[in-house]
Amino acid sequence: MNELDCIINHPEGLGGDIPGRSAFEEPGIGAFHRSLPGRAPTPLIEAAGIAAELGLGKVYIKDEARRCDVKAFKILGASWAVHRLLREEPGIATFATATDGNHGMALATAARLHARRAVVFMPRGTAKARVERIRATGAVVEVLEVDYDETVRHAAATAEREGWTLVQDTAWPGYEVVPAMIQAGYLTLFREVAEQLGAFGGDPGIDLVLLPVGVGSLAAAGVWFHHHSYGDRRPRLVAVEPRNAGCLAASLAAGEPRSVAAPGTLMAGLNCGTVSSIAWPLLRDGLDGALLLDDDAVPPAMRRYANLEPAVVSGESGAAGLAALTELLTSTALEPLRRHLRLRPDSRALVLNTEGDTDPATYRRLVEGVFEG
Ligand SMILES: Cc1ncc(COP(=O)(O)O)c(C=O)c1O
């Protein structure tokens, strides 16, 4: 690890009021997710060994690698949005999106469940395995020679021209309804954790949550859930971004949304240059801090997951939370953030393993040292 920068958000204490209530309060999301194939809640694992190594009371891992056979949490958002859209407009024939991988896989899977067509655009440098996974669902996949932000613009323009329905997991002024559905769908993950901890209403059972950020939709759902469920007893909430795609950190530092160049990171699912416009106010007001993570912190976290008993399979983006927690607890440079978060030897932390081995060759190379030709 070279260096790890962080932002202390609201240094004076807890953040302000959290907007965006109505978009999240749709009934029926949990029941809908329980109706999906492979619907069981993903496991919440207590990793006592990691807690001991890091000097924490407890470390919990929510293992989204085992979500509905798609190896990532993203199906929670895309499936709910597709369901909602078809309820309003059953005649939709084609859904389209841009993706770094997991959202596209989720949308293609949801479209197939409803016997609809999916068209998925992916940015340059996308791992072949991630393209093939999505194609295997029957979706049309096109890999472009541009970065993620430009791919999103291309998907939106093409969908508009062709009369397809765009299901994008990030919002911008004028395109906010569908991303709000997706963000709301992600709440199921946090509700499951609360149920698994037996923690609804009173003591949240955790003191710290690490929230990985690409465009910030998942983190915004996490912020909303914890603020509204627990008020000032809520856990501290910290965003995690790749150093090379720190659009949220740049925005928090500036006090307003800022796009950044995202030249590439191992954490492909987090390689986004612009924060979702509906996530931004929640993240600005509700986060306690943000970390920028270097790529080289990730493989050790993937290996630590693999060494758990039983093993947890964690892909490059999936392991960002554990990598960040490790840095947070071990880096002297992060002492101010540690203090701000009031971490103590009995603190209980939650990390999300947001993705399994969605690029198996890279996984084997980083975790097992196996190089394939
Ligand atoms: C594995 C993984 N983790 C985390 C995220 C971050 O989610 P969001 O883009 O909503 O911030 C993504 C997004 O694609 C992802 O694929």
Structural element, H or E, at residue 181: helix 177-185
Q: Could you tell me which of 201, 179, 182, 122 has the C-alpha nearest to residue 154?
A: 122
Phi-psi region of 20 (alpha: psi -120 to 50; beta: other; left: phi over 0): left
> Residue 21's pLDDT band (boundaries 50, 70, 90)?
low
**Using a 6 Å cutoff on CB, does residue 97 contact ligand 1?**
no
Question: Taking residues 36-50, what's their average pLDDT?
Answer: 92
User: Cα separation of 349 and 201, whole Å?
Assistant: 18
- Give the closest residue (by CA) to ligand 1 atom 14: 269
Ligand 1 proximity of 214 Cβ (cutoff 6 Å): yes
Decide if 88 contacts 354 (C-beta within 8 A). Answer: no
Q: What is the pLDDT of residue 372?
A: 75
Q: Say if CB 240 and CB 291 are below 8 A apart.
A: yes
Apex 325 CA angle, 182 and 213, nearest 5: 25
Q: Give yes or no for residue 3 having a pLDDT over 60.
A: no
Calculate the CA 59 to chain-centre distance: 19
For 185-194, 198-207, 280-289, 346-355, which range has the lowest pLDDT when averaged over its residues? 198-207
- Is the bond into 345 cis (omega within 30 degrees of 0)? no
Place of tokens 């999936």: 318
**What's the gap in Å between 214 CA and the centre of ligand 1?**
5
CA 347 to chain centre: 23
Minimal-distance CA residue to ligand 1 atom 15: 269
- CA 182 – ligand 1 centroid, Å: 12
- pLDDT averaged over every residue in the chain: 94
Residue 14: predicted pLDDT: 61
Catalytic residue check, 74: yes
Q: How confident is the model at residue 200 (pLDDT cuts 50, 70, 90)?
A: confident
**CA–centroid distance, residue 245 to ligand 1 (Å):** 12
Closest CA to 223 of 152, 286, 311: 286
Q: Which pLDDT score, from 0 to 100, does residue 332 have?
A: 86
Average pLDDT over residues 298-309: 98
Q: Report the C-alpha gap between 324 and 322 in whole angstroms.
A: 5
Give me the percent of the chain exceeding a pLDDT of 90: 86
Q: What is the pLDDT of residues 170-195, one digit of tens each?
A: 999 999 999 999 999 999 999 999 99
Other beta carbons within 10 angstroms of residue 263's beta carbon come to: 10
pLDDT at 4: 43
pLDDT score of 292: 95
pLDDT tops 50 at residue 118:
yes
194 or 22, higher pLDDT: 194
Distance 335 CA to ligand 1 centre (A): 27
Nearest to 291 by CA among 328, 317, 256, 245: 328
pLDDT at 198 > cutoff 70 = yes
Instruction: Average the pLDDT over 32-36 and give the result.
Output: 92
Q: Which pLDDT band holds residue 308 (cuts at 50, 70, 90)?
A: very high
- CB of 98 shorter than 6 A to ligand 1: no
Examine the residue annotation and report whether 100 is marked as an active-site residue of this protein: yes
CA 22, CA 151: separation in Å to the nearest integer? 30
CA distance 74 to 64: 9
| pLDDT of 373 over the 70 cut | no
pLDDT band at 26 (very low <50, low <70, confident <90, very high): confident
DSSP codes of every residue in 186-215 = THHHHHHHHHHHT-SSS--S-SEEEEE-SS
Identify any residues that bridge with 128 across adjacent strands, giving them in sequence order: none
Ligand 1 centroid to Cα of residue 317, in Å, is 8
Tell me if 100 CB under 6 Å of ligand 1: yes
- The whole-model pTM stands at 0.96
Q: Which residues pair with 66 in a beta bridge?
A: none
pLDDT of amino acid 38: 81
In the prediction, which pLDDT does 15 show? 59
What is the tens place of the pLDDT at every residue in 232-247? Answer: 899 999 999 999 999 9
Residue 12, pLDDT > 50, answer yes
Provide mean pLDDT across the span 123-147: 96
State the Rg of the chain over Cα: 19
Orientation of helix 320-330 relative to helix 298-306, angle to 10°:
110
Domains contained in the chain, CATH given = 6-72+186-368 (3.40.50.1100), 75-181 (3.40.50.1100)
Q: Which of 329, 372, 296 is nearest to 210 (CA)?
A: 329
Catalytic entry in 58, 62, 63, 100: 100
Q: Considering only CA atoms, which residue is closest to atom 12 of ligand 1?
A: 269
Residues 93 and 342 sit within 8 Å (Cβ to Cβ): no
pLDDT at 123 over 70: yes
Residue 281: pLDDT above 80?
yes
Hey, what are 134's tokens?
């999505």
Residues 6+ apart with CB under 8 A from 125: 264, 268
Confirm or reject: Cβ of 317 under 6 Å from ligand 1. yes
276 Cβ closer than 6 Å to some ligand 1 atom:
no
What would the mean pLDDT of 189-216 be, rounded to a whole number?
Answer: 93
Task: Decide if pLDDT at 2 tops 60.
Answer: no
In angstroms, rounded to a whole number, what is the distance separating the alpha carbons of residues 314 and 67? 12
Task: Look up residue 223 and give its two tokens.
Answer: 């912020």
Tell the residue nearest (CA) to atom 13 of ligand 1: 269
Q: Tokens 């990793």: give the residue.
A: 47
**Which of ligand 1's atoms lies nearest the C-alpha of 317?**
1
CA atoms within 13 A on the CB side of 167: 36
